[in-house]
């Protein structure tokens, strides 16, 4: 296939598909076949500047639109996404590779954020203090920021944009989405749905691109805030560069989530959870379980139960019903993940199951079977690094304290889970663990939309977590008004500092 036969993926600016002014493009691959499937426009500085100007123009009338009208658009969007769940799931599977059933879960979790945004007017209510001083009232209001941008990762091409734009738009901002260049098309379908829902053109825009586009968004004076989700080195760069340019930034980074299994845990349940959370979506989830910390003598029976379940996982194209695990996102990423299995053996870990010998590796797609590494220890690259693939490490420790120290010493702190039947220890873990999201007998504790999502340590740069109430806070700023209506005849000059009288 030559590049000329591929479909083109353009930007969405001002309510229509718009080809780039730049001539730079990149290939969108089909991970299940290993073939190119589209040519993606990559924005240059002129494209970014045009998009920001369109979004800025749209902002003025959108922020003046009554709150209930803004919420009404989200109500309609909720209906449209609900009616088109499968279409959205298939679109994203085509480019991401995850199974359609997994993609349906992604759409469902994204939809929660649109539902939450329908209630944003309630959260935008300010406070009012009557008679703060004699004849003086004080009240607080929350106002939108202006043009805000979201930069999103490949692994949740529909859900993470929904985490951002639902609240941002309903709060009265206009939004520029810079999706991952690896699986960008689903965002254009969401843009069409927003238009059908009645969103005025220019309030939601999709700008495709790479570092050139991101860097321009980071420095553009009319972009007031940046939400980012992606790997930790890029998150740190986005946070430092964006804040240096005076922007509000929330930048969510990578992860290495631990699952602590105590000797009293139900082995079958813990093994089900570990296998589901480690290999679901081929391990390409920021809330995937990457390390099981087995305390005491539970390690051997737990590993037996895990390997028994691993053998039954069906690896294959995500579009084919019955498959449970699809390919990795690119050939390069597959090679990188496989190199960790190689490296683990050299560093002294035991490769109990080697995914590189899986039959799926014979196809042209970017498949890699599931791997299990035993006797993993801090200091090994397979323990320290985020691998982001279907590789689960087992660390054996003697005590709860040893396990906790390990979790708290790790530079990432997105999620951490404990499996036990002892409520007291579970509560202590919730108190002690240095991670932003804790699961108690729950391996992937992604908060529901009316809480907020975010990690600690190297998993988040910025002050506010994403979506939920903290999302509303992020996308608005507070203004406090002090007012009085005195009789002008009582007015006089008073050079003293105002105080309560």
The residues that touch ligand NAD, with contacts defined as CB under 6 A, are 151-156, 178, 180-181, 210-211, 214, 229-231, 234, 252-255, 286, 386, 388, 414, 455, 459
Instruction: Provide, rounded to whole angstroms, the least separation between the CB of residue 498 and ligand NAD.
Output: 45
What is the C-alpha separation between 113 and 468, in angstroms, rounded? Answer: 8
Based on CB atoms, which residue is closest to ligand NAD, 323 or 459? 459
Q: Does residue 84 contact residue 137 with C-beta atoms inside 8 Å? A: no
Based on CB atoms, which residue is closest to ligand NAD, 358 or 386? 386
Based on CB atoms, which residue is closest to ligand NAD, 15 or 455? 455
Based on CB atoms, which residue is closest to ligand NAD, 75 or 450? 450
Instruction: Name the residue among 270, 266, 229 with its Cα closest to residue 250.
Output: 229
Instruction: Name the residue among 329, 276, 282, 314 with its Cα closest to residue 32.
Output: 329
Based on CB atoms, which residue is closest to ligand NAD, 39 or 420? 39
Residue by residue, DSSP assigns 190-231 as HHHHHHHTTPPTTSEEE---SHHHHHHHHH-TTEEEEEEES-
What is the C-alpha separation between 306 and 344, in angstroms, rounded? Answer: 19
What is the C-alpha separation between 112 and 285, in angstroms, rounded? Answer: 18
What is the C-alpha separation between 420 and 90, in angstroms, rounded? Answer: 37
Instruction: Provide, rounded to whole angstroms, the least separation between the CB of residue 179 and ligand NAD.
Output: 6
Based on CB atoms, which residue is closest to ligand NAD, 144 or 280? 280
Instruction: Provide, rounded to whole angstroms, the least separation between the CB of residue 399 and ligand NAD.
Output: 29
What is the C-alpha separation between 53 and 46, in angstroms, rounded? Answer: 11
Based on CB atoms, which residue is closest to ligand NAD, 14 or 150? 150
Instruction: Name the residue among 103, 74, 102, 81 with its Cα closest to residue 91.
Output: 103
Alpha-carbon distance values, 351 to 48, 88, 168, 374 (Å)? 47, 38, 46, 6
Q: Secondary structure of the chain: what % helix, strand, coil (to 5)?
A: 40, 25, 35
Based on CB atoms, which residue is closest to ligand NAD, 149 or 349? 149
Neighbours of 466 (CB within 10 A): 25
Based on CB atoms, which residue is closest to ligand NAD, 70 or 465? 465
Instruction: Provide, rounded to whole angstroms, the least separation between the CB of residue 477 and ligand NAD.
Output: 24
Residues with a catalytic annotation lie at 286
Instruction: Provide, rounded to whole angstroms, the least separation between the CB of residue 383 and ligand NAD.
Output: 16
DSSP state of 275: H
Q: Does residue 372 contact residue 303 with C-beta atoms inside 8 Å? A: yes
Instruction: Provide, rounded to whole angstroms, the least separation between the CB of residue 404 and ligand NAD.
Output: 22
Going by DSSP bridges, is the β-strand pair 147-151/223-229 parallel, antiparallel, or unpaired? parallel
Instruction: Name the residue among 254, 207, 260 with its Cα closest to residue 455.
Output: 254
Structure-block tokens of residue 188: 């254009």
Instruction: Provide, rounded to whole angstroms, the least separation between the CB of residue 411 and ligand NAD.
Output: 13
Residue by residue, DSSP assigns 148-167 as EEEE--SSSTTHHHHHHHHH
Instruction: Name the residue among 207, 242, 215, 276 with its Cα closest to residue 17.
Output: 207
What is the C-alpha separation between 231 and 153, in angstroms, rounded? Answer: 8
Q: In the bound complex, which residue of the shown chain has the CB atom lying closest to ligand NAD?
A: 230
Burial 474-485 (b: 16+ CB within 10 A, else e): bbbeeeeeeeee
Structure-block tokens of residue 141: 């209001």
What is the C-alpha separation between 191 and 28, in angstroms, rounded? Answer: 19
Instruction: Provide, rounded to whole angstroms, the least separation between the CB of residue 228 and ligand NAD.
Output: 7
Based on CB atoms, which residue is closest to ligand NAD, 236 or 356? 236
- Which residues are registered as beta bridge partners of 251? 228, 461
Instruction: Provide, rounded to whole angstroms, the least separation between the CB of residue 230 and ligand NAD.
Output: 3
Instruction: Provide, rounded to whole angstroms, the least separation between the CB of residue 126 and ligand NAD.
Output: 30
């Amino acid at each position: 296939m030559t590049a000329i036969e591929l479909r083109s993926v353009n930007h969405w600016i001002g309510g229509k598909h718009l080809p780039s002014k730049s001539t730079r493009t990149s290939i969108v691959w089909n991970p299940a076949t290993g073939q190119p499937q589209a040519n993606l426009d990559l924005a240059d500085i002129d494209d970014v500047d045009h998009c920001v100007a369109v979004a800025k123009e749209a902002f003025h009338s959108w922020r003046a639109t009554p709150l209930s009208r803004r919420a009404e658009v989200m109500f309609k969007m909720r209906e449209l996404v609900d009616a088109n769940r499968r279409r959205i799931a298939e679109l994203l599977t085509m480019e991401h590779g995850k199974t359609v059933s997994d993609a349906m879960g992604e759409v469902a979790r994204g939809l929660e954020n649109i539902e939450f945004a329908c209630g944003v007017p309630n959260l935008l209510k300010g406070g009012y203090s009557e008679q703060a001083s004699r004849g003086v009232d004080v009240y607080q209001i929350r106002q939108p920021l202006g043009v805000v941008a979201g930069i999103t990762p490949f692994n949740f091409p529909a859900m993470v944009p929904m985490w951002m734009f639902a609240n941002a738009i309903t709060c009265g901002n206009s939004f520029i989405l810079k999706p991952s260049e690896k699986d960008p098309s689903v965002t254009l379908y969401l843009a069409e749905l927003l238009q059908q829902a009645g969103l005025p053109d220019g309030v939601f825009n999709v700008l495709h691109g790479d570092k050139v586009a991101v860097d321009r968004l980071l420095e553009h004076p009319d972009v007031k805030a940046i939400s980012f989700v992606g790997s930790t080195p890029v998150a740190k760069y986005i946070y430092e560069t964006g804040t240096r340019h005076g922007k509000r930034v929330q930048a969510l980074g990578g992860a290495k989530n631990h699952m602590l299994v105590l000797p009293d845990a139900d082995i079958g349940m813990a093994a089900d959870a570990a296998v589901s959370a480690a290999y679901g979506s081929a391990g390409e989830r920021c809330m995937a379980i990457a390390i099981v910390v087995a305390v005491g003598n539970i390690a051997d029976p737990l590993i037996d139960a895990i390997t028994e379940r691993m053998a039954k996982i069906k690896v294959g194209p995500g579009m084919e019903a019955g498959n449970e695990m699809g390919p990795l996102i690119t050939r390069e990423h597959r090679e990188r993940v496989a190199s960790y299995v190689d490296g683990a053996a050299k560093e002294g870990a035991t490769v109990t199951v080697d995914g590189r010998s899986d039959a799926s590796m014979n196809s042209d797609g970017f498949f890699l079977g599931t791997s299990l590494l035993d006797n993993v220890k801090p200091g090994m690259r397979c323990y320290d690094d985020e691998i982001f693939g279907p590789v689960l490490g087992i660390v054996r420790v003697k005590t709860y304290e040893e396990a906790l120290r390990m979790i708290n010493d790790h530079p990432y702190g997105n999620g951490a889970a404990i499996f036990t039947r002892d409520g007291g220890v579970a509560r202590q873990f919730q108190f002690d663990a240095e991670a932003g999201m804790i699961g108690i007998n729950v391996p992937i504790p992604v908060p529901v939309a009316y809480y907020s999502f975010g990690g600690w340590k190297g998993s988040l740069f910025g002050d506010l977590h994403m979506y939920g109430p903290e999302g509303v806070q992020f996308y608005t700023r507070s203004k406090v008004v002090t007012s009085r209506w005195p009789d002008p005849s009582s007015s006089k000059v008073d050079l003293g500092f105002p105080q309560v009288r």
